[in-house]
Amino acid sequence: MTMVSEPASFLQVRRAQPRAVRGSVSSSAVKSRVYVAMLAFACVYVAIAGRLVMLAQMEEATSGAFISAQDSVSASRPDLIDRNGEILATDIKTASLYAEPRRILDVDEALEGLVRVLPELDEGLVRRRLESGAGFVWLKREMTRKQAEDVHNLGLPGIGFLSENQRFYPGGPTAGHIVGSVNVDNQGLAGIEKYIDDSWLADLQSLGFTADRSMEPVRLSVDLRVQHVVRDELVKAMERYKAIAAAGIVLDAKTGEVVAMSSLPDYDPNDRSQALEKDRLNRATGGVFEMGSVFKTFTTAMALDSGSVSINDSFDATRPIRAAGRTITDFHGKNRILSVPEIFIYSSNIGTAKMMLATGIARQKEFLGRLHLTDRLKTELPENAAPLLPPKWNELAAMTISFGHGISVTPMQTAVAAAALVNGGTLLPPTFLPRSQDEVQSLGKQVVSPETSRMMRYLFRLNVLSGSGRRSDVPGYTVGGKTGTAEKIENGRYVSNKRRNSFLSAFPMDDPRYVVLVVIDEPKPERAGIGATAGLNAAPTTAAIIRRSAPMLGVMPRFGKGDEPIEISY
């Protein structure tokens, strides 16, 4: 049908009507096609939106992992400094390598380049991490500058670096057992490092207050110069006497501050793997030993302080003591009646056991408990061992304990208890942190009378002048002390050819300021024909420590007639 426009006048226009043409598309068909096109576009938009949502979620996961890692590696720690301000531990910046596997275009290419620069990487492990599709993975922590530059020059997409705080110990092993160590995330594992984490640092780190922030240094009571001397002399002693281990402590007898503490073999905290070797344990606070005859110091003080024994008393040491099928004898027996000072300087087991019997078993237990020799000693270090006590504290056990057998304590416990006996009778808990006089006054506990302390100072000095401690004497310093030579136990039996020698000392004996304890494990005779007693190895090692460290501690030697400051007889 054809529609023709026929105007009625020049002012009228007849609207043309659509004409039906063969093969044309109907309006309904056009509408359908429009709807289909709209649906197609809608599907495309939905697909794009879904992909965007998915990508947004992926970026969020990656970002979260990255931020978490960044916070972890940027956590700072305070410097550790000694009492004179010398740095014992500090943070240094280093680079750590990470990957974002989702952004890696060619895993094989990335792996080849990384292993070429860092051959120590575990190739299989790195491949698994790169193929994991994770948002963030570590590849290597604490790299050298050269390694970081070489990896950077590879230009690998998806491989990056984070600036990390790494703990550095300038002195290496010098104070390793004191400062402790941290893990790869800069968290304390041992020593003072763990102490400050447990005290306050871990809380700050968890709240994010330590990220790349400088903190006030933590000052220790340790004197790095004296610490070096103690370690150096212990190293020499181990070489000279072919010993398997050694420990040394310098304790301020008036404040309880630990000035130096060394235990060999030690470890370098810059190499964390060394700390896992069992022979490198901290023997000074983490090991317990039978201290041998140095324990006679406590038995003598107990007997004198109880009033049951006077320093003018004497005991029969002519014959061994038989008790519960055991025989107690003297190593160098005099086979006669001995005075209390003679029992001390000749280190008579018989005389010491008889002084204990005169005092009583119950009082012995109470007195050793008063000196904190029967319970775990607390220090800032987490490595504090509990003493080993006899299963039955009967008469035989009490007698052997009186001369240092049957009870095992740490060297630190021994030094702390000895400090109380020579400083006027005040027991002070040990500390690795500086302590004020107000703290000393509030923490001090009177455990023996000043008179007992004065008698113990006399006996200490007498033993160096006339007893087994002669080789510990240092001219000008009036050293006093007690030797201990304890046989070691193997398979439940004492063996005579393996000993743990010790020397417990203090100086200057008119007003002792410092207690020095040296322990040498399994020393051998210095040459054929001589023994390997504590007087021959532990005592001279102590003398060397005092000779070198006393001037550093402000204790000047005094020479000249009339300078002998203590009583020469009782």
Half-sphere exposure of 532 (CA within 13 A, CB side): 24
Strand bridging mode 218-219 / 80-81: parallel
Secondary structure class of 361 (helix, strand, coil): helix
Residue 486 in contact with residue 533, Cβ under 8 Å?
no
Please tell me the distance from the alpha carbon of residue 553 to that of residue 513, in angstroms, as a whole number: 10
The amino acid at 159: I
Q: Which of 263, 293, 347, 502 is catalytic?
A: 293
Strand partners, 445: 427
Residue 426 in contact with residue 252, Cβ under 8 Å?
no
Please tell me the distance from the alpha carbon of residue 411 to that of residue 288, in angstroms, as a whole number: 7
Please tell me the distance from the alpha carbon of residue 138 to that of residue 159, in angstroms, as a whole number: 10
Phi, psi of 67 (to 5 degrees): -65, -40
Strand partners, 58: none
- Which distant-in-sequence residues (6+ apart) come within 8 Å of 381 by Cβ? 177, 178, 180, 190, 191, 192, 195, 282, 285, 432
Residue 427 in contact with residue 356, Cβ under 8 Å?
no
Rounded to whole angstroms, the maximal C-alpha distance in the chain is 163
Token pair for 261: 């503490």
- 542 burial class (0-12, 13-18, 19+ CB within 10 angstroms)? buried
The 3-class SS string of 191-243 reads: HHHHHHHHHHHHHHHHCCCCECCCCCCEECCCCHHHHHHHHHHHHHHHHHHCC
DSSP type of residue 42: H
68 is catalytic: no
Q: Which of the residues are catalytic?
A: 293
